[in-house]
Structure 1
């Protein structure tokens, strides 16, 4: 009787151990899938943000180029008028230059290329920090899963080893081409 109880206890212990292993490993796999989804979500958000940043840069440079072109045209007109001695034409060119500078100062008081570049660098750094954090979370989940797989060795043959990031896929591979290239 004691041997039967001991055998049943060991048998039920192994079954409980196996059920606990299946639950733990299944949950760990779900956590890994969630971490992979987080990486893809962060990457998509990052690339969407990079598109926005690039559009802002293109817009800022285009706006500044237009204003600089207006100023250059006005200055050239002023120089030409001065050479031929046409005071009226020179006055119009000088007024156009002053107006262009006024537009630049009123519409872009804080827009400095270095400030814009700093802002872009900060936003880009934030994007890549979020992606790096999500990657680290995934690696932690993969390591935890693989450790649990070793601990629950009885059910491990039914659960494939989870490769560390980069072995089977590369979620950091850029898929969006820059508009600047």
Structure 2
């Protein structure tokens, strides 16, 4: 073979290698982005489950603590915000507000021993506790997926393809400011 033929073969091989590398990296980025969306959807599902449990819990408490309207209203308001939140930051803030309102509800429950003994209330509290655990796991899974995705779009050669195809960084699910402090419970 002539020298010019070898040069064209080498150039062709390099071009094919670049194309296959680009396709592989692009598919990897799409897969990582889809994983992030799926994990966020799991947070959403669990937050919705929790929001669906709240009205039953509130109605059970209403029968015992009808005069505790402000706590029950705070829960209803926080639940509405959570259901309407769209972004991870909005959901985190609404989740923190709902958690705070629920902790105030638990203080109210302490004043009603018969309510604590009610089987429906106990069952709802167990469901809520299970849902809280699911939410924590879903948040961790989501943040892990976001971390992996963000690393992929920042590392070479992924960063080249990410900028070329419009893949941007994803937002972590962060706790609301002040949530690191335990709620103050007074009897």
Q: TM-score range by the shorter chain?
A: 0.5 to 0.7
Whole-Å separation in 2 of the counterparts to 1:165 and 1:138: 7
Q: Which of 167, 170, 173 does residue 162 from structure 1 map onto?
A: 170
| 1:58-100 CA distance string (max 9 Å, x none) | 33x27xxxxxxxxxxxxxxxxxxxxxxxxxxxxxxxxxxxxxx
TM-score by length of 2: 0.54
Alignment match, 1:137: 141
Q: Separation in 2 of the partners of 1:131 and 1:41? A: 9
Tell whether 2:63 aligns with 1:55.
no
User: 1:1-181, aligned counterparts within 5 Å?
Assistant: 1-59=5-63, 61=64, 112-116=114-118, 119-149=123-153, 150-151=155-156, 152-157=158-163, 158-166=166-174
Distance in 2 between the 1:49 and 1:139 partners?
25
Which stretch shifts more, 27-36 or 128-137?
27-36
1:16-75 Cα shifts (integer Å, max 9, x gaps)? 11111111112221221222222122111101112212222333x27xxxxxxxxxxxxx
The equivalent residue for 1:106 is: none
Unaligned runs of 5+ in 1: 63-110, 171-181
Q: Secondary structure at the match of 1:37?
A: helix
Q: Please identify the structure whose Cα radius of gyration is greater.
A: 1
The answer on whether the counterparts of 1:18 and 1:154 sit within 8 Å (CA) in structure 2 is no
The structural deviation recorded for 1:3 is 2.7
Equivalenced residue count is: 120
Unmatched 5+ stretches in structure 2: 66-112, 177-187
| SS class of match (2:20) | helix
In 2: Cα distance, 1:118 partner to 1:166 partner = 30
Matches of 1:55 and 1:130, distance apart in 2: 23
Higher relative contact order (CA 8 A, sep 6+): 1
CA RMSD of aligned residues (A): 2.7
